[in-house]
Structure 1
Amino acid sequence: MISMHTSPLEQPGIGDAGGMNVYIRNVASHLASHGAQVDVFTRATRASQGEVVEVEPGFRVINCVSGPFEGLPKESLPTQLAAFTGSVIAFVRSEAQGSAGGGAGQRTTCGRTGAGAYDLIHSHYWLSGQVGWLLRDLWGVPLVHTAHTWAAVKNLGLAEGDTPEPESRRICEQQIVDNADRIIVNTEDESAAIVEAYDADPRRISVIAPGVDVGRFTPGSDRATERARRELGIPLRAKVIAFIGRLQALKGPHVLLRAAAELIRRHPEQNIRVVICGGPSGTGLERPDELHDLAASLGVSGYVRFLSPRPPEELVTVYQAADIIAVPSYNESFGLVALEAQSSGTPVVAARVGGLPLTVAEGASGLLVDGHDPEVWAKALEELVLDDKLRIAMGAAAPAHALTYSWDSTVEKLLDVYTEVLGDGVVDSPFRAAHGVPQGPL
């Protein structure tokens, strides 16, 4: 696997780490539990990381030096594509030489070493897709790609003041679509979108929904909710609306703040509180205090609690402490936060964008909102704030909906795709067409 711009070991909610990190870590872990051996190549960002991190049996993270450890924004990472690719190749070559010389700690895959140690490449995000495209041809193995977000799709639903994705990224994504042996998407809507925007071949698209860790994200008892609120410094009898995610315009936390300010003005008796859990990212890095300033200008600073990002084992308490989770994103390929919230027994109010209409069972485990007008959002949130019976019923129904998604199911479907692209089920494989490789096992 290739995840150049962010490591699956990074804390989601900080910088560029988010749902993609959760996805890669869980997929790699579950692939390993199914007997696969997975190396995730990512760019080193600290000298102390070490080159190889053994996460668990069958799952390693390889930190590749390419460019300075710190101070290199994501927008500058395309300048390091060659360096990163060279670092991956150097690592694989060194492992092959170490194994040939009987070096300790070297690992083989399927009894082989070096470039031949990998049966397949799965790249994540467009930067990694460019690297995967080159390595696919060098190593003679298929390339599977998951974009997580697409420039052409994001640019259709930008938040106010957000910066459009550059044309250079769209061109690179077009090249990946044209050359990958299989594209993995989260939803049928995403499949239709890339067929429209990139003229993708539908036969080389596989729809596989992400999962949720239903063993970790579980409903809390009344006592657990009270304990979580005490630990987070939230009044026990408040109505709590929470936002969890990266703090940038694309995710819409400003929409929630404006809507909540209107609710607080209308219903002071409800003792409404807002929790914002996450760190600045993307355009949010330009003004890291923007949401604090907005809360102050709206006169609701005393009603808003800002929390730093938390690892999953602590994040579950935020979900359990909340009465409602708001997901006002302008673009969301799937919506893992919405799924984790429902698994934790908390209803969701989400924007009707991307994969959220699939993730949220509208009317059963949450509500969907058209657009991002704070007045419209205030009305949707008001419905659940005021109607205790409806909110509690949705919270009770939410875990059953979340149970329909699991990482085991995701990985089993991925393994089917891997088997297909390695066997004779590939439809017009670009690699095989270019190299005259016949259909059948490589």
Structure 2
Amino acid sequence: MSDPSGPRPPRRVAMVTVHTSPLAQPGTGDAGGMNVYVLEVARQLARLGTEVDLFTRTTSAAQPEVVEVEPGVVVRHVAAGPYEGLSKEELPGQLCAFAAGMMRVAAHAPPGHYDLVHSHYWLSGQVGWLAADRWGVPLVHTMHTMARVKNVHLADGDEPEPRGREIGEAQVVEAADRLVANTEREAAELVDLYGADPARVAVAEPGVDLVTFAPGSQAAARAALGVPADAVLLLFVGRIQPLKGPDVLVRAAAELVRRRPDLRDRLVVGVLGGASGSGVRTPMGLDVLAERLGIADLVRFVPPVDRPTLADWYRAADVVAVPSHSESFGLVAVEAMACGTPVVAANVGGLPTAVGPGGLLVDGHDTADWATALGRVALGPETRATLSRRAAEHAQGFGWARTAGRLLEVYREALARPKDVSIDDAERIADVPRAVIP
């Protein structure tokens, strides 16, 4: 823990999230757990006294230049390339334009307006690196996902991450004063796969909105969503792309029906999300897969929904499947468990930390293994009741206020001893008079 008498926390942080807006609807396009993370952390930091400016790329002419989310949290849309039609893979060509836009914003104030830069994902890390260097402040970076990890666990039919991304990530790892990992496993991957200095790697586990995502009546949730009261509901929530493995759930559901033909009258397979990443360029064809497996009438495709409705879906489900091939943490798993719903998840990345005692972990993505695990929970009332209780208890340890508190510790450390900057220099930079940016 940090020394309360040590360096004060930053007064204002510039957070960078180039490729996806914290205001975007999670579950489609490039919007997912990172969007939720950035916005929730910013809110909590502001409530703790650290203001946050969130810089993201403008993707529509209708977006205002500045959006105040709440006191102390501002989203700043930066023009960088065409508003629409650019994929994430095309954004490296717009990083200079984005950085220039950030510089123009900061030009309205004297040096010292931002105490620290916190970038999210490697594209933002490239921009954050330049901004932090220009402003003479520390750079804190969170990877969220890593190319070398994803390529080791590549799903069948998915595309490997390009060499350019690997190089860009390695550069950010070297440049950052502090690296924030979601779990101890991710921290080890930063050291092992990218040669990160262990002394500059810290762990801050993501959180969950424990007010929105809380246990409730399954019957009421099903009535609100139009799900039969006696259904056996298996649920997938997330972006529809090979990395997330929604096909694993569809195949496992078909296997359950083969084993238990009586389930056909009650089984509902919910797939909640929109196409993303390689799933946009090459649609996964889950509907075609379900048709071929003979369960098209059991699969219900639902577009992304708002957070309260998402909580109802979690409560309505008997089990939530998280069959990802790679996952830095697994926010869906924690949201589901906060609602008292057990999880069956792949034993990869941060999912063991996220799931804990609130579900089952499956090694690999074999259809038979997944059918067995899902059936054990969804069709075993005693098992489900035990896991449901444990899930709700485990999720209580993942509030966003806890995440923000840990980040403030990391920020203090970075301000006290930024890489290549002395304590005296850091304090001098932080004490420069501040001004208000319009």
- The Cα of 1:286 is off from its aligned counterpart by 2.2
Q: Which residue of 2 is the match for residue 108 of structure 1?
A: none
Matched residue, 1:355: 350
1:259 is aligned to 2:273: no
Q: Distance in 1 between matches of 2:155 and 2:236?
A: 17
Hey, what's the Cα distance between the residues in 2 that align with 1:115 and 1:287?
46
Contact 2:241 2:284 in 1 (8 A): no
**Equivalent residue number for residue 48 of structure 1:** 62
Q: Hey, what's the Cα distance between the residues in 2 that align with 1:385 and 1:401?
A: 19
Given candidates 333, 336, 341, the residue that maps to 1:346 is 341
Distance 1:45 1:357 in 2: 35
Aligned residues of 1:422 and 1:441 also touching (Cα < 8 A): no
Q: Name the % identity.
A: 53
CA distance in 1, matches of 2:428, 2:147: 34
Q: Report how far residue 235 of structure 1 moved.
A: 1.7
What whole-Å deviation, never above 9, does each CA across 1:20-52 have from its counterpart, x for those lacking one?
001001000101111111000000001111100
Deviation at 1:220, TM superposition (A): 1.0
The amino acid across from 2:220 in the alignment is R
1:218 and 1:281 mapped to 2: Cα distance? 28
Out of 380, 392, 399, the position equivalent to 2:392 is 399
SS in 2 for 1:116: coil
User: Counterpart amino acid of 1:330?
Assistant: H
Partner-residue secondary structure (3-state), 2:97: helix
Partner of 1:58: 72
**Match of 1:187?**
183
Matched residue, 1:147 = 143
TM-score, scaled to structure 1: 0.91
Please list every run of 5 or more consecutive structure 2 residues that lacks an aligned counterpart in the other structure: 1-14, 430-438
- 2:280 aligned residue: 285
Q: In structure 1, how many angstroms separate the alpha carbons of the residues matched to 2:101 and 2:426?
A: 32
Q: 1:368 — aligned with what?
A: 361
Match of 2:133 among 137, 144, 148: 137
- Cα deviation 1:77-108 (Å, max 9, x = unaligned): 00000011111111222xx2xxxxxxxxxxxx
Structural mapping, 1:288-367, within 5 Å: 288=283, 290-361=285-356, 364-367=357-360
Give the CA deviation at 1:439. 6.6
**Cα distance, 1:114 vs structure 2:** 4.3
Number of residues of Structure 1 aligned to a counterpart in Structure 2: 413
State which of 15, 22, 25 in structure 2 corresponds to 1:8: 22
Equivalent pair of 2:66/2:77 in contact (CA under 8 Å): yes
Give CA-to-partner distance per residue, 1:114-167, whole Å, 9 cap, x none: 442100000000000000111111100000000100111111000001100011
SS of match in other structure, 2:112: helix
Structure 2 counterpart of 1:104? none
User: Which blocks of at least 5 consecutive residues in structure 1 are unaligned?
Assistant: 97-112
Q: Does 1:417 align with 2:417?
A: no
**Aligned-CA RMSD value:** 1.5
Match of 1:246 among 214, 239, 252: 239
Contact 1:329 1:350 in 2 (8 A): yes
- Stretches (4+) displaced over 3 A: 436-442
* CA deviation after TM superposition for structure 1 residue 437, in Å: 7.3
Q: Is the 8 A contact 2:242 2:284 kept in 1?
A: no
Q: Distance in 2 between matches of 1:21 and 1:320?
A: 23
- Give distance in 2, aligned partners of 1:44 and 1:114: 25
Change (3 A) 1:114 1:226: farther
Partner residue in 2 for 1:233: 226
- Would you say the 8 A contact 2:320–2:341 is kept in 1? yes
Once the two structures are TM-superposed, the CA of residue 266 in structure 1 deviates from its matched residue by 1.4
Q: Which amino acid aligns with 2:42?
A: A
Query: In structure 1, what is the Cα distance between the partners aligned to 2:424 and 2:251?
Result: 58
Q: Does residue 1:84 correspond to 2:84, yes or no?
A: no
